[in-house]
Amino acid sequence: MKWQSFLARFFNVSESEIMGIVSDDPSGAETFKTLINERQEKKLAALAGALSSEDDLGKVIRAHIHIEHELHELIILAAPSQLILDRSRKWSFSKRCS
């Protein structure tokens, strides 16, 4: 997966927007910070919604799903190569966290 397409999916924007942000334009850094903050707010709101509904077991399961998804996204973002990503698809949750 190209880094542009990953970032576009990660921030829920188009690849052309990502290319505009990472260009030499100094305003791109501020736009990038805004995207990060907006994504964090959305993810925290989704997690808070999951934790405010259902019974205690449902809260634990939904929180686990949210956390596992975020860890997977961060692994993709930090992976040094596509080979590592291909291998990580087979890893269990506990191995991804170690």
What is the domain partition of the chain in residue ranges? Answer: 3-97
Is the per-residue pLDDT at 89 higher than 80?
no
pLDDT confidence band for 93 (50 / 70 / 90): low
| 0.75 surpassed by pTM | no
Looking at residue 17, its pLDDT comes to 79
Looking at residue 77, its pLDDT comes to 74
Looking at residue 94, its pLDDT comes to 64
Residue type for 17, please?
Answer: E
pLDDT confidence band for 95 (50 / 70 / 90): low
Residue type for 77, please?
Answer: L
Q: Does residue 28 contact residue 20 with C-beta atoms inside 8 Å?
A: yes
- pLDDT one-digit tens code per residue, 29-82: 777 788 888 888 888 888 888 788 778 888 888 888 888 888 878 777 777 777
Name residues whose C-beta falls within 8 Å of residue 72's C-beta, 6 or more positions apart in sequence: 96
3 state DSSP class of 5: helix
